[in-house]
Amino acid sequence: MRAFQLVEWQEPPELREVPVPEPGPGQVLVKVGGAGACHSDLHIMQAPAPPVATRLPFTLGHENAGWVETPGPGVAGFAPGDPVIVYGPWGCGLCANCREGRENYCEKTAGMGGGLGGHDGGMAEYLLVPASRFLIPLEALDPREAAPLSDAGLTSYHAVKRSMHLLGPGSTAVVIGAGALGQMAIQILRALSAASTVIAVDTAADKLEIARRMGADEGLLSGDGAIARIKDITRGQGAQLVLDMVGVDPTLQMAAQMARVLGHLTIVGLGGGALPVNFSSPPHECSVASPYWGSIPELMEVITLARQQKIKMLVEHFPLERASEAYQLLHDGKIQGRAVITPHA
């Protein structure tokens, strides 16, 4: 089969021929319908070799959905042809966090999954999933459309849900960065907290227009004007929740000025910036967190919202042989939602 693989650190990935894996006991072979191209993959491609030995080559792609091809011995509850989405962080299944479904915070594997190093991901014709507990039925959802829900959807959902106690009537939530994750966060805020005012902030006017169509009450261009407008909307207090989906120095500095006392400033983006912290900034007792992905039960909730048509990702499809092109467009900011690789298009 064909697979889009990282062969050497800091070198472009290659489309290669590799054997189709065979599922062992408890494992499931999935025919890949869609594999999302994520900014995290760009970081992996550009990163130097990690200090811990990581097997090369490995197949990229950690946002995956498809159809069950072959259940391994002992697998129950899934049959060939079943549409499924793959939970991304593959934990040990035994530690306390894993037993609660929070395999993203596994104490032994640090929530690493396929496509992130060491395990093959879904940018191939088939994906070997190490345990059936990582599969969630999609029912009527198309795997080629649903694949980004496993990361862009789940990560945004978890980032919002942990702050729901702050988002009552009259509250304000700010989403900095209206790309794929930001678009999902806006829709999730609308679905879970209809009474909140949702404000999108971005450097691109076209993305702000998409954000408005997806439910944002207002779209603001990044900068001092956006900070002033949010202060005006909140009567000088700042927003209860600020989600930074970018994570570079300028957005983090802006986020600190938009947040309020006792609010939440949540860093989702992997831009590599640093948040200056002192006695006065962020505001007093403003909680700062950097969540990672979400839990298996939360992914089930995300799928439910998608089935109810309350959230939907903008998707642009690319065949496997155009994976490099998709990543270049992503790097250049020319993908409005999520590029999804479709090996069996």
pLDDT for 147: 97
pLDDT at 148: 97
In terms of Cα–Cα distance, which of 286, 250, 297 is closest to 269?
A: 250
Can you give the pTM of this predicted structure?
Answer: 0.95
Q: Report the pLDDT value the prediction gives residue 186, as an integer from 0 to 100.
A: 98
Q: Return d(Cα 262, Cα 257) in angstroms, integer.
A: 13
pLDDT at 111: 66
Contact (CB, 8 A) for 272 and 251 = no
Give per-residue pLDDT as tens, 150-191. 999 999 999 999 999 999 999 999 999 999 999 999 999 999
Q: CA 303, CA 308: separation in Å to the nearest integer?
A: 9
pLDDT under 70 in the chain at which residues?
53, 111
pLDDT for residue 109:
83
